[in-house]
Amino acid sequence: MGYSYNADERETSINFSDANDEATIYTASGPMLTKLERLCREYPEMYRRTAAETAENGRLIAGRYSVANKRLIRFGKPASAAQKEASKANAIKMRSTLKTAL
C-alpha cells in the first residue's frame, strides 16, 4: 500500500469475546502504533504484530496486533473533581520546586 490515511481513517478497533483470552487490535493511529510496537518489543510473549500496512517509503501506517490476554485491555474512568484539583496543586508544587532547584 503506497499511501497514508487521512484523520478520519486513522482509527483503532479492539475485538475480543468471551470464548477465549485473546484480543485483536487493528490501528492506523500513529500514537497507538508507536505504543503497540514498543509493547511487541518489550513483551513479545504477550503482544505480537500479525499484519502490517506500509507506505511506499516503508513507514508503518497501520497494523493488526494479537494480545495474548484480553485483561491487558483497560478502560479508565474520568478523574473526580478532587483528583483533578490535587493534580493541579501537585503540578504547581513541582514547578515551584524545579524553579528553586535551578
Structurally, how many domains does the chain consist of? 1
* Cα within 13 Å of Cα(64), Cβ side: 5
At residue 99, the pLDDT reads: 78
User: What does pTM read for this prediction?
Assistant: 0.75
Please give the residue range of the domain that contains residue 80.
Answer: 7-101
Q: Are 67 and 46 in contact (CB under 8 A)?
A: yes
* Mean pLDDT, the chain, whole residue set: 92
Chain centre to alpha carbon of residue 48: 14
At residue 4, the pLDDT reads: 75
At residue 3, the pLDDT reads: 65
Residue 73 lies in a domain: yes
Q: What is the pLDDT of residues 9-53, one digit of tens each?
A: 899 999 999 999 999 999 999 999 999 999 999 999 999 999 999
Residue 78 lies in a domain: yes
Residue 2 lies in a domain: no
Residue 58 lies in a domain: yes
The C-alpha atoms of residue 44 and residue 22 are separated, in whole angstroms, by: 14
Task: Reply yes or no on whether the pLDDT at 2 is more than 70.
Answer: no
